[in-house]
Chain A
Amino acid sequence: MTSVEWRGVRRWLTSGVLGITVLAMVGGCGGGGPGQATGESTALSDAKRPFDLFFGEQLGLIDWARIKLTDKCVALRGYPQVLQGGLEKPYNPFYHLAADYNGLGPVTEEQARRSGFREDRPATPSSVVSSDKNFDAINDKCSAEASKALGGAQELVNSYAMLGNDVYEAYRAEIHDLLEPHREKIADCLQAKGLRFDRRGYVKEDSLTSFGFPAGHYEGGDNPLDWKPKRTPGTVEVSPPWPAQRYVPSQQESDLAVEMFRCSQKMGVRQAFDEKSTEIQREIVERYEARFIEMNPKIEQMARRATELVN
């Protein structure tokens, strides 16, 4: 595993394009396999998560800063209400690349029982509803100014988000292929328990719709506040912040998630995934190397700028 040549990123590291940040990041991971010739390649072999090279936290910081700067500008130009209930702190839009999300569904039996294959809704910021054409123009102008102040934030956020999405889709595709033989075994296991489903759809496409279970719902529905804007022309309204909501799976979804979790445990699917995960990540980082090399330094630089401007 650790002997896998990470040629592209090694070139990238040794060329100093990313320099200290990446070395510090991968060096801090610990563990890993046998060391290699240089300090840099040892750091590489120790890197457990090549996807840490996707700077999701910094992306979130830049995105948050540009929106915060936009809101300040909009408030100064006649719409102070937009400062109510905004996003309080940055979040990593690609947390699923940063954490050990593996595309295998629930990670515990309890989670499977409680939430099926989905997740709760987190609390979210207030919504802004404009019935004022002037607001539209002001918001666009302020957004452009905020982006410019950060050095082209909108364009970089768009491009880096595309990279994050592409990397994750590539990862999902590899996992899909890797686990197909294991889905065969899980399908055997589920059928042995008496479940009836579209076996081919599940094994070949990994589609949850193959099981035909009814959808669940969120407690409180899509409008838990029952808040409705008055839409008076010339006004801009701000909703209260939205509360977190629990996802309630249908009984069939919950039962299936539990059975599938048990079968996947029995068949060793997670172990098969864990053994290959780092290798898959490395291959994908190599595949998208040019875009990482082009954008990572810009992300780092802009994140520093964002911190300066917002604090």
Chain B
Amino acid sequence: MAVVHAHRSHFHPRKPFSEGVMVKRVSLMLAGAMAAAAFVLTPPMAAQASDVGDGSLDCNSGEICFSQHEWHEGGRKHFWYNAIHTDLSFNNGVPLMDQASWVWVRDTRCGIYLYDYRTGFDHSLWLPTGGGSVALSQRSASHTSSGTWNDVNNEHKRCSSQV
């Protein structure tokens, strides 16, 4: 069985945003109002990985879509069910765990909870469905070195998290 976060250092000191993150943030701010239109027009990609959502690299209605980088860049992974991200990969082979920067919830039933295993399950980020693409670097987190939910995805649950 995989050891949680065996590939990460144990200690994550709080620190200001790295330069790379800052660049991303600035570019996001500049892009601002264009976001809503831009993410709908996903570029066609030739590679069709069999394990990606409905078999299409488009993020279609019904899917919960993760991208490795913002603006749907890099690998993609689409779901229509609950999933632990350990041992899963984007369509380009990059591990999904701790590598998602962009989420688009198109599940037609409800929103999702996103979890980071560093903290317990009383800690999550709730993302409603239909809310458009979400840059996880824009979602503040109290427990991560970046101060955001970027690159800390470990699991998602659909709809209510309560049994």
Inter-subunit contact A207/B159 (CB<8 Å):
no
Among the listed stretches A21-29, A36-44, A214-222, A289-297, which one makes contact with chain B, having 4 or more residues with CB under 8 Å of it?
Answer: A214-222
- Which residues from 109 to 163 on chain B have a C-beta closer than 8 Å to any C-beta of chain A? 109-111, 117-132, 139-143, 157-163
Does A307 sit at the interface, judged by CB under 8 A? no
Inter-subunit contact A125/B8 (CB<8 Å):
no
A-chain residues with CB within 8 Å of residue B158 when the two chains form the complex: 124-125, 127, 242
Inter-subunit contact A213/B142 (CB<8 Å):
no
A-chain residues with CB within 8 Å of residue B141 when the two chains form the complex: 169
Inter-subunit contact A63/B111 (CB<8 Å):
yes
Inter-subunit contact B4/A213 (CB<8 Å):
yes
Residue of B nearest to A146 (CB): B130
CB < 8 Å neighbour of B121 from A95, A117, A128, A206: A117
Residue of B nearest to A94 (CB): B126
> Knowing A157-B131, A215-B86 touch, does A204 contact B123 (C-beta < 8 A)?
no
Inter-subunit contact A215/B157 (CB<8 Å):
no
Does A179 sit at the interface, judged by CB under 8 A? no
Inter-subunit contact A209/B108 (CB<8 Å):
no
Does A5 sit at the interface, judged by CB under 8 A? no
A-chain residues with CB within 8 Å of residue B131 when the two chains form the complex: 154, 157-158, 161
> Knowing A136-B60, A207-B10, A207-B12 touch, does A103 contact B55 (C-beta < 8 A)?
no
Inter-subunit contact B1/A215 (CB<8 Å):
yes
> Knowing A63-B128, A172-B142, A172-B143 touch, does A242 contact B118 (C-beta < 8 A)?
no
Per-position contact with A for B65-97: 1 when CB-CB < 8 Å, else 0? 000000000000000111110100000000000
A-chain residues with CB within 8 Å of residue B3 when the two chains form the complex: 212-215
Distance to closest chain B CB from A30 (angstroms):
25
Per-position contact with A for B12-41: 1 when CB-CB < 8 Å, else 0? 111000000000000000000000000000
> Knowing A67-B110, A117-B120, A198-B10 touch, does A218 contact B159 (C-beta < 8 A)?
no
- Which residues from 47 to 66 on chain B have a C-beta closer than 8 Å to any C-beta of chain A? 54-55, 60-63
CA distance A33 to B127 in the complex (A): 37
Among the listed stretches A7-15, A85-93, A263-271, which one makes contact with chain B, having 4 or more residues with CB under 8 Å of it?
Answer: A85-93
CA distance A118 to B124 in the complex (A): 12
Does B6 sit at the interface, judged by CB under 8 A? yes
Inter-subunit contact A136/B61 (CB<8 Å):
yes
B-chain residues with CB within 8 Å of residue A87 when the two chains form the complex: 109-110, 159
Distance to closest chain B CB from A229 (angstroms):
7
CA distance A135 to B3 in the complex (A): 41
Inter-subunit contact B54/A131 (CB<8 Å):
yes
- Looking at B11, B62, B139, which has the most chain A CB atoms within 10 Å of its CB? B62
Per-position contact with B for A189-204: 1 when CB-CB < 8 Å, else 0? 0000000001011001
Inter-subunit contact A103/B123 (CB<8 Å):
yes
Distance to closest chain B CB from A4 (angstroms):
22
B-chain residues with CB within 8 Å of residue A139 when the two chains form the complex: 61, 108
- Looking at A147, A157, A165, which has the most chain B CB atoms within 10 Å of its CB? A165
Does A188 sit at the interface, judged by CB under 8 A? no
> Knowing A63-B110, A207-B143, A214-B1 touch, does A164 contact B126 (C-beta < 8 A)?
yes
CA distance A210 to B8 in the complex (A): 10
CA distance A169 to B127 in the complex (A): 14
Inter-subunit contact B117/A215 (CB<8 Å):
yes
Does A166 sit at the interface, judged by CB under 8 A? yes
A-B contacts, 25 of them at CB < 8 A, read A67-B108, A93-B128, A103-B123, A105-B120, A125-B110, A128-B80, A128-B107, A129-B63, A130-B62, A169-B142, A176-B142, A201-B10, A205-B143, A207-B12, A207-B119, A208-B4, A208-B120, A212-B4, A213-B4, A214-B1, A215-B117, A218-B82, A222-B82, A223-B81, A239-B81
Residues of chain A having any CB pair with chain B under 8 Å: 63, 67, 70-71, 82, 86-87, 91, 93-96, 101-103, 105, 117-122, 124-131, 135-136, 139-140, 143, 147, 154, 157-158, 161, 164-166, 168-170, 172-173, 176, 198, 200-201, 204-210, 212-215, 217-218, 222-223, 229, 231, 236, 239, 242, 244, 250
Which 9 A-B residue pairings sit nearest by Cβ, starting from the closest? A173-B142, A172-B142, A91-B160, A127-B80, A128-B62, A198-B10, A117-B120, A139-B61, A201-B10
Residues of chain B having any CB pair with chain A under 8 Å: 1-6, 8, 10-14, 54-55, 60-63, 80-84, 86, 107-111, 117-132, 139-143, 157-163
